[in-house]
Structure 1
């Protein structure tokens, strides 16, 4: 049994503030240890549940945040940027039985600690085939095309509620309770690690490859907080303006859809000015 862990940071234990997840800040350095603790607990739980192999794919910002030297020696870690499937890289090789979303968060325009979708700001909403989509929802549709079920989701309580909509059978572990976008009721890592470990151990039985699900074509809609970002987004072939602050595009499958989404967000981020957005 091989498990892939997609590890994001905004939903990690103790994280509530932008500086907690921005590489290079003192707070980020502190929170890296709690992020690593969450991932380490999931690794341990999956091995206890019968996994033979666990691959961790770093999925936050520079994708160089986890402390490799503190991870379980039985695991391997894919670190660094510019990966074909970004947050779920590794799922496309046909040898993954289940995937865990650890440290995930809710989507842009919704309630949740540090809620966003790919871009920390600028995007106010993302819809896939008419349904508002978080990163978890988008990634769940990508991995479904490879027959890989989502078996575990960790993050704040709103993230676990969101996961009920795209992975109802998955084990959910809320490591903190949402108060505002920048505040949460948190528990110490010793407690959350035990809960994540237990959740992963139980989730291992769900790691059974399924028939690939291909339901294309898919329509992606993106809404921005400023009109000029639409102009930047439509530089990507196939992306069209649908409103003053909205664009849309259609893809034949989620593989191409998520790659186009990555291209759009990369181009848009380069068009954001520090003071005026």
Structure 2
């Protein structure tokens, strides 16, 4: 079995402030270590279910957060950014049996995490086919483009609840809950235990996690700064709906992801 794992940090247990997510910050090391531990737990769960190849995308900010020395021997780790439309899913292809997301978080426009955002912090929300889209949804479509189901996700409670609405077969582990500017987090070791067991359970019903791919993607992005909307409006196919809002229609996932790559 070949498993793909995409890892972020804002959904890791304990993470509450931006300084805890920034490489080089004095607050960072503790939470980068927990990010690594939760990733290892996911690997251990996958290996227990027969995975002999695991590809990990370090998908947060610098993409240089996970300690490679802690990873099992069957793992390959992608650090840095490939600058491809897949972004947080760089390296995904048709050879993978399942995808797993660790440390994910509520999207822009939601209040379930003090660090809620989608792809970056310069937008108020991203709508896809009339629904607010988190990174989980964007990256689920990226995986679906290659026929790979997303079977497991860990992160904040709101993200896990919305993930179930989008993909009712997915296994979820909520390691924290966001309340205003605060988080209520579970014990870090317990989070790892739950992630390991959740991954094991998820790989028992991979087929149940397949999602339908829309015939087209109607996308709306609201930027915090009107200058960003103006700049994006010059990309082919993108129109400005209001001073801070742009819209475009993509006929397939590749077009959807490529346009997003250049305007976000």
Is it true that 1:205 corresponds to 2:204 in the alignment? yes
Secondary structure of the 2:11 match is coil
Query: What is the CA–CA distance in structure 2 between the aligned matches of 1:175 and 1:207, rounded to whole Å?
Result: 22
Determine if contact 1:146/1:213 at 8 Å carries over to the other structure. Answer: no
Counterpart in 2 of 1:176?
176
Output the TM-score relative to the length of structure 2.
0.94
Counterpart in 2 of 1:273?
none
Counterpart in 1 of 2:249?
250
Query: What is the CA–CA distance in structure 2 between the aligned matches of 1:200 and 1:207, rounded to whole Å?
Result: 11
How many Å apart are 1:246 and its aligned residue? Answer: 0.4
Equivalent runs, 1:71-90 vs 2, <5 Å? 71-84=71-84, 85-90=86-91
Counterpart in 2 of 1:126?
126
Give runs of ≥4 in structure 1 deviating > 6 Å. 209-212
Query: What is the CA–CA distance in structure 1 between the aligned matches of 2:257 and 2:134, rounded to whole Å?
Result: 12
Query: What is the CA–CA distance in structure 1 between the aligned matches of 2:11 and 2:29, rounded to whole Å?
Result: 16
Output the TM-score relative to the length of structure 1.
0.89
Q: Which runs of 5+ in 1 are unaligned?
A: 266-277
Query: What is the CA–CA distance in structure 2 between the aligned matches of 1:32 and 1:151, rounded to whole Å?
Result: 24
Q: Which runs of 5+ in 2 are unaligned?
A: none
Equivalent runs, 1:42-61 vs 2, <5 Å? 42-61=42-61
How many Å apart are 1:232 and its aligned residue? Answer: 1.6
Equivalent runs, 1:81-100 vs 2, <5 Å? 81-84=81-84, 85-91=86-92, 93-100=93-100
C-alpha RMSD of the superposition: 1.7
How many Å apart are 1:210 and its aligned residue? Answer: 8.7
In the superposition, relative to structure 1, how do residues 177 and 214 fare at CA in structure 2: closer, same or farther (>3 Å)?
A: closer
Counterpart in 2 of 1:135?
135
How many Å apart are 1:236 and its aligned residue? Answer: 2.1
Secondary structure of the 2:27 match is helix
Secondary structure of the 1:66 match is coil
Secondary structure of the 1:26 match is coil
Counterpart in 2 of 1:5?
5
How many Å apart are 1:147 and its aligned residue? Answer: 1.5
Equivalent runs, 1:127-166 vs 2, <5 Å? 127-166=127-166
How many Å apart are 1:49 and its aligned residue? Answer: 1.6
Counterpart in 2 of 1:117?
118
